[in-house]
A and B are shown apart, each in its own frame.
Chain A
Amino acid sequence: MALLVAGLLAYAAVIGPFTAYMRDKPMEEKLGYVPSVKVMKSVSVDQKELAGASLVFKVLMYYGTLMGQAPKGTILKDPGDLQGMSRLLHGAVQLDPYNMDAYYFAQGILTWDAHQYQVANALLDYGMKYRNWDWFLPFFAGFNNAYFLKDYKKAAHYYDLAGDLSGEPLYKSLASRYMQESGQTDLAIAYLSGMVKTAKNDAVRKSYQLRLQAFLEVSRIEKARDRFARERGGMPASLEDLVRSGYLKPAPVDPYGGTFYLEPDGKVATTSKFAFGAKKK
């Protein structure tokens, strides 16, 4: 009896700090060490699909806390342990090559955040071998090729495939419509609004929404800039010019917390360097 009471008291004393400790553990630790895929494959025996799904969830939870922690309006400098997430997702599709969640999520972080377009495409190609009915994977691959890699021939091939699989002629026309440099922003907006609509997970949707917002702003600036150029016969000197002259109302806001500006060649950029503005050259 005394032992039971002592045990209960000790438990009550310890459980609070213990829970707090677990909760406040650094996030890098939370993603944790995952044994090699070979080991996982052996240990999961006939539960490979479950193991795969649990890996994806681990990443998703990690990403969710990451998004939740970032205060609104601040520059999201640290995209988290991208390598770790990528490793887990690759593990997941080796355990279950059909796991769509893994491809979907990998497409999101590998391209926008990690800029590893080739890795993303290799993963999508791997998935297409298995999910041969799914138009999402060629749709992603087409977008990556068209937008990031500027390989329009390959992009057209993937968009064709997506069109065939989905039975939607839209994807075929996508290819032709946005295959010029000038259509890049619209291409991204079309892609992102599609992703926002189909996203079920809050953290994922939030990240796409943020990016979509940024692109809508870029598009607005671009339209104002073009109107300015058409009507005044020359590029505006700066973003402030556009705002002051009334072409751009209200002033653009970077959802990532940065400030938009015009590069010397007229290209729209932002100080938050939300990946695409900075890298795209």
Chain B
Amino acid sequence: MLNMMRITLKGVFRDRVFQGIMALAVLFLFIPSAASLSMRQVTELSVTLSLSLISFILLLLSVFLGGTSLWRDIERRYTFGVLSLPLSRSSYILGRFLGLALFLVLVSVVLGVAACVAVNVASSLYPADRPVVWSFVALALVYATLKYILLVAVALLLSTVSTSFFLPVFGTICTFLASGISQQVYEYVHSAAAVQTVSPLFRQVVTAVYYLIPNLAGFDLKINAIYSVAPNPRGLALTACYFLAYTAILLAGSIFLFNRREMK
């Protein structure tokens, strides 16, 4: 498993993904000047822009790395060589997952440092009314990383049943979009206003979907980092547990499906 993880990481680095990210990270240089456009919240805006940029990069990585890594192995027939080794399929999947997860962690650490520098520059130019609480920024980064690691697991699960990269890539994007609105839709169909207009069946379907797709809204601690609002510790603990449980289910599902997958 560690072996597989090492190979995964090596592959990501050899494919120059990291260099690509560094190219995108040049945008951090512009954050202080972009943030100074703000009228009343330069520091806050610099934190917003930094966290948004990191989120966006992590999203791209999780969707494309997660969605293509299995597909590529199968498509290019690497799996014949690898899965015929005395290596169980579960350790193959877990190794892939952990390798990608570790890469996301690495990226967010590197980008996190860059973001801190950018925010520091911005806040030294225009001191904020409310000083930045760095631990909140770090927490927001940690939870953003967890969120995208979960998304990698979604992509892997979809990869185990798919023969092309369309399903994993677009399925993951759809999951991500749906995860952002599931809470809203759920609350709407259960609201008093919707009682007349929404049929009970539809309500049940929505409820089922709500529990099925990941709820990623809880991982978003940007507000807390940007405006230095203390996050709710119980909420954080629950979100972490949710992450562990949901990822475990996704991985178990991926292993189950991949074990049944035939390498034609």
Q: Do A and B bind each other?
A: yes
The answer to whether B41 touches A99 (Cβ under 8 A) is: yes
The answer to whether A200 touches B55 (Cβ under 8 A) is: no
Q: Contact flags (1/0) for B153-191 with A, using CB distance below 8 Å?
A: 000000000000000000000001101110010000000
A181 to chain B, nearest CB (A): 31
Q: Judge whether B240 is part of the interface by a CB distance below 8 angstroms.
A: no
Number of A-B contacts (CB under 8 A): 76
Q: Judge whether A119 is part of the interface by a CB distance below 8 angstroms.
A: no
How many residues on chain A are close to B (CB under 8 Å)? 30
Q: Judge whether B37 is part of the interface by a CB distance below 8 angstroms.
A: yes
Known A49-B226, A99-B41, A199-B39; judge A134-B129 contact (CB<8 A).
yes
Contacts of B227 in A (CB 8 A): 98, 131
Contacts of A45 in B (CB 8 A): 176-177, 179-181
Contacts of A57 in B (CB 8 A): 37
Within 8 A of B (CB), among A65-116: 96, 98-101, 104-105
Within 8 A of A (CB), among B185-232: 216-217, 219-220, 222-223, 226-227, 229
The answer to whether B184 touches A42 (Cβ under 8 A) is: yes
Q: Say whether chain B's binding surface is mostly helix, strand, loop, or mixed.
A: helix
Q: Contact flags (1/0) for B2-38 with A, using CB distance below 8 Å?
A: 0000000000000000000000000000000000111
Q: Judge whether B52 is part of the interface by a CB distance below 8 angstroms.
A: yes
When the two chains form the complex, which single residue of A47, A104, A134 contacts B39, counting CB atoms closer than 8 Å?
Answer: A104
How far is A58 from B79 in the complex, measured between Cα atoms in Å?
Answer: 51
How far is A101 from B44 in the complex, measured between Cα atoms in Å?
Answer: 10
Q: Judge whether A239 is part of the interface by a CB distance below 8 angstroms.
A: no
A143 to chain B, nearest CB (A): 16
Q: Judge whether B77 is part of the interface by a CB distance below 8 angstroms.
A: no
How far is A62 from B55 in the complex, measured between Cα atoms in Å?
Answer: 29
How far is A104 from B42 in the complex, measured between Cα atoms in Å?
Answer: 13
Q: Contact flags (1/0) for A192-227 with B, using CB distance below 8 Å?
A: 000000111100100000000000000000000000
Known A45-B176, A45-B180, A100-B44; judge A200-B223 contact (CB<8 A).
no
The answer to whether A60 touches B37 (Cβ under 8 A) is: yes
When the two chains form the complex, which single residue of A104, A134, A200 contacts B126, counting CB atoms closer than 8 Å?
Answer: A200
The answer to whether A50 touches B126 (Cβ under 8 A) is: no
When the two chains form the complex, which single residue of B40, B52, B129, B217 contacts A200, counting CB atoms closer than 8 Å?
Answer: B40
The answer to whether A101 touches B48 (Cβ under 8 A) is: no
Contacts of B177 in A (CB 8 A): 42-43, 45
Q: Which residues of B contact A (CB under 8 A)?
A: 36-42, 44-45, 48-49, 51-52, 55-56, 126, 129-130, 144, 147, 176-177, 179-181, 184, 216-217, 219-220, 222-223, 226-227, 229
Contacts of B217 in A (CB 8 A): 46
Q: Judge whether A273 is part of the interface by a CB distance below 8 angstroms.
A: no
Contacts of A41 in B (CB 8 A): 181, 184
Q: Judge whether A18 is part of the interface by a CB distance below 8 angstroms.
A: no
Q: Judge whether A53 is part of the interface by a CB distance below 8 angstroms.
A: yes
Closest to A38 in B: B184
Known A41-B184, A200-B126; judge A46-B220 contact (CB<8 A).
yes
The answer to whether B216 touches A46 (Cβ under 8 A) is: yes
Q: Contact flags (1/0) for A106-143 with B, using CB distance below 8 Å?
A: 00000000000000000000000001011010000000
The answer to whether A105 touches B39 (Cβ under 8 A) is: yes
How far is A260 from B51 in the complex, measured between Cα atoms in Å?
Answer: 52
When the two chains form the complex, which single residue of A42, A50, A60 contacts B49, counting CB atoms closer than 8 Å?
Answer: A50
How far is A44 from B176 in the complex, measured between Cα atoms in Å?
Answer: 11
Contacts of A96 in B (CB 8 A): 223
Contacts of A100 in B (CB 8 A): 40-41, 44
Contacts of A201 in B (CB 8 A): 37, 39
When the two chains form the complex, which single residue of A48, A133, A198, A200 contacts B38, counting CB atoms closer than 8 Å?
Answer: A200
How far is A39 from B21 in the complex, measured between Cα atoms in Å?
Answer: 30
The answer to whether B55 touches A133 (Cβ under 8 A) is: no
A88 to chain B, nearest CB (A): 15
How far is A98 from B55 in the complex, measured between Cα atoms in Å?
Answer: 19
The answer to whether B222 touches A46 (Cβ under 8 A) is: yes
14 contacts between A and B (CB under 8 A): A38-B184, A42-B177, A43-B177, A45-B181, A48-B222, A49-B48, A49-B222, A57-B37, A60-B39, A131-B227, A136-B40, A199-B39, A200-B39, A201-B37
